[in-house]
Amino acid sequence: MSAFSEQIESQLKSKLHGSEGLVIKSLGGNIVVAFMTGMVDNAQLNLNLLAPLTKNDQCDSLETLSEMIPIGDCKPFDQLSDVIEKLLSGFALVLLKGKDGGLLVNLANIPSRAPSNAETESTIYGPMIAFTESMEKNIALLRSYITSDKLIQEEVQLAAEPHTSASLLYLDEKEKNPFVELIRKRINKQKYKGLIGSPLFLKILTDNKYSLFPEMSLSERPDRTAQAILEGKVVVMVEGNSQVIIGPNTFADFFQSVEDRYSSWGLGMFNRSLRAIALIISIFLTPLYVAALTFHYEMIPMPLLESLIMSRARVPFPPLMEALVMEVSIELLREAGARLPTKVGQTMGIVGGIVIGQAAVQAGFTSNILIMLVALAALGSFTTPNYMMSSSIRFIRFPMLIVAGFLGLLGITFFSAFLFIHLLRMTSYGKPYMYPFYPPNSKGLINTMLITESSPFQYKTDLTRSNTKGGKSRMTKWFKSNDEE
């Protein structure tokens, strides 16, 4: 046996000491096979690897050895560092005594579930299938939507312990996609320790790490992911995660549902307008109630003021405390419902809300009007299609309530101005977060509010277009990438 073969076997035994799953078999002649039990497909191992090698156990070159194995993913190797990682990923190692190097044969049998219906992004219209935890299956699902040779899959290695695989997916076009290089730089710049999931990876890729508002979105739907790629965005897939990362995104992107694309333009515009109204209701409704009752009750019409006084006659708390208690109760119900099994959680959320609300009114802890306002604000936040943005909106309501309780309408005005300034300053991979509202763009505004037959797939948005007929994109004169500054 050559020094190389002996070195490989010695390394396997030393690195994997104590592991009963390691199997090293000598096939009588000059061939040695090593694999991890439980990580390889036994049927493929016996039929397509051990059987042909046993029949032809005398071999004098790696090329001949490769031709004997009827498996497509069969690669030569000559680096010792590649062996352990591949062996633990379901590959079998084939060594030829007296030769330097060997073959790595993919026999991986990693447990994975079959594709199922989308849970966090469910729709009434359109496809229902969702990604799984297998990156190989996810890429196959995505390619079933984009049957084009322009779809590029680029594997990237995360500097993590344990090792984590990821892939960048984007369109290969004449115009160079500026976001691909930025993502590569940020991936190579970071070092991680521990398991890397898509939500954690998303934090690493963002421009504004301390902002409450998400810049990249997570999706479990292949159709939405394919649509994003066709619009010029970049998708990051992480092995072992059923959600992919899509970016860059604007503020308006988080309020667009996949279902809008399958609806008529009128219905789609109505739904998006309804979400915009729901956003305003969710953030401002209860703070305005607190500000009006605490500082500005003279602005309330007399009939409505009489109703408010009657409903609050037995309430011992000031409006701020009353509203905070009810908002916290709603969040507790939501969190408890999310952690319980699906059917139990839905029942508990509905019944618990009714029982607690009715009991609170009868006990004099709150008023009927506030119960209605808090419920409307909660419903408004739930209309946001993106869960991360919905969570941010619910969180913002609490500081807005506090400033309304202490400063009234003046506090609401100042806090709203602070939020708007923050949003206008934000970028997503160097591009303005509030596009197409700022910088203003008429075509972008039309595409944001209206859904036409040409808008979803036939052209990229100005946000993701790196070049235009006039040379550089109009967007590049407004902002530069944070990585380039």
Task: Count other C-beta atoms under 10 Å from residue 448's C-beta.
Answer: 22
More confident position, 147 or 478: 147
Least confident interval from 10-19, 377-386, 394-403: 10-19
Spell out where 149-268 has E strands: 151-158, 164-171, 217-219, 234-238, 244-247
Q: What is the pLDDT of residue 170?
A: 92
Question: Which of the given ranges, 43-57, 224-238, 375-389, 406-420, has the highest pLDDT on average?
Answer: 406-420
What is the rounded CA–CA span in Å between residue 137 and residue 132? 7
Confidence class for position 196, pLDDT limits 50, 70, 90: low
What is the rounded CA–CA span in Å between residue 185 and residue 179? 10
Please give the average per-residue pLDDT across 335-360, as a whole number. 74
Helix axes 319-339, 342-362, angle to 10 degrees: 160
Q: What is the pLDDT of residue 377?
A: 93
Average pLDDT, the chain: 81
Q: For the whole model, what pTM was predicted?
A: 0.81
Q: What is the pLDDT of residue 471?
A: 37
Report whether 121 contacts 224 (CB < 8 A): yes
Report whether 102 contacts 69 (CB < 8 A): no
pLDDT over 70 (residue 1): no
Angle at 304 between CA 303 and CA 309, to 5 degrees: 100
Question: Which of the given ranges, 153-167, 263-277, 409-423, has the highest pLDDT on average?
Answer: 409-423
Q: What is the pLDDT of residue 78?
A: 66
Helical H segments across 426-461, by residue range: 442-449
Report whether 120 contacts 45 (CB < 8 A): no
What is the rounded CA–CA span in Å between residue 294 and residue 319? 7
pLDDT over 60 (residue 475): no
pLDDT over 60 (residue 162): yes
Q: What is the pLDDT of residue 407?
A: 95
Confidence class for position 178, pLDDT limits 50, 70, 90: confident
Q: Over the stretch 94-110, which tens digit does the pLDDT of each residue have?
A: 887 777 778 888 888 77
Q: What is the pLDDT of residue 470?
A: 38
The pairing of strands 234-238 and 164-171 is antiparallel
Least confident interval from 67-76, 129-138, 186-195: 186-195
pLDDT over 80 (residue 194): no
Please give the average per-residue pLDDT across 189-217, as a whole number. 78
Q: What is the pLDDT of residue 438?
A: 85
Q: What is the pLDDT of residue 44?
A: 84
Q: What is the pLDDT of residue 281?
A: 96
Q: What is the pLDDT of residue 479?
A: 38
Q: What is the pLDDT of residue 472?
A: 41
Please give the average per-residue pLDDT across 140-162, as a whole number. 83
Q: What is the pLDDT of residue 2?
A: 56
Q: Over the stretch 23-36, which tens digit does the pLDDT of each residue have?
A: 888 876 778 888 88
pLDDT over 90 (residue 181): no
Q: What is the pLDDT of residue 193?
A: 66
Least confident interval from 291-305, 346-360, 465-479: 465-479
Please give the average per-residue pLDDT across 426-451, as a whole number. 82
Confidence class for position 81, pLDDT limits 50, 70, 90: low
Q: Closest by alpha carbon to 143, among 181, 166, 180, 171?
A: 171
